[in-house]
Structure 1
Amino acid sequence: MKQLKILICAYACEPGKGSEPGVGWNVAREVSKYHQIWVLTSNCHRQGLETELARNPLPKLHVVYLDPLGWIIDQYSSDKTKTLVETAIYRVSKTHDFVQVALK
């Protein structure tokens, strides 16, 4: 199987959490077993992600904290804010060789 470079946009992505943060983390972790993954998430998940990755490194999983203009983007952000960010991410991803997967 060809290894892909995949950009996953998961506003909520944190290990050990349920609901949306748990789904974001589990998808990113599982896909990183087979492909290079860059997951874009909110800075509010930094501590949980960095603690987990220090304990259990995943060399194919790269985390980018995306909070443009100082906005905190999480599961409580407005749909308009999320749409703006998703549009910007889409445009950036097209200039690289990413396969884009959006988790909502």
Structure 2
Amino acid sequence: MKVRLSFDTFFETITGIDSVDIDIPEGSTVGDAVDVFLSDKSEIKNKMNDKKLFLLGDLRAIYHIAGTVVKKDHPLTGGDNLKILKAFIGG
């Protein structure tokens, strides 16, 4: 199923990425979607590498769906727009 990850202005300014659509298996959680984003070897990483930025470790953030704060174990459904606020990439 497809879900969209949307990022806040701070993350977008640093990475040039404001949102990305990812494909995850049915029954996936917020944490699963974040793992897919972090392990993606394609366009996302290429944009980051062009800016000499590298993803290390976990993506720490506040997660929202439809204005409601959710945790990493929250189940996702196809078409969800997961907003990732105050994202911090660290090791």
TM-score (norm 2): 0.27
Which of 1 and 2 has greater Rg? 1
| RCO higher in structure (CA 8 A, sep ≥6) | 2
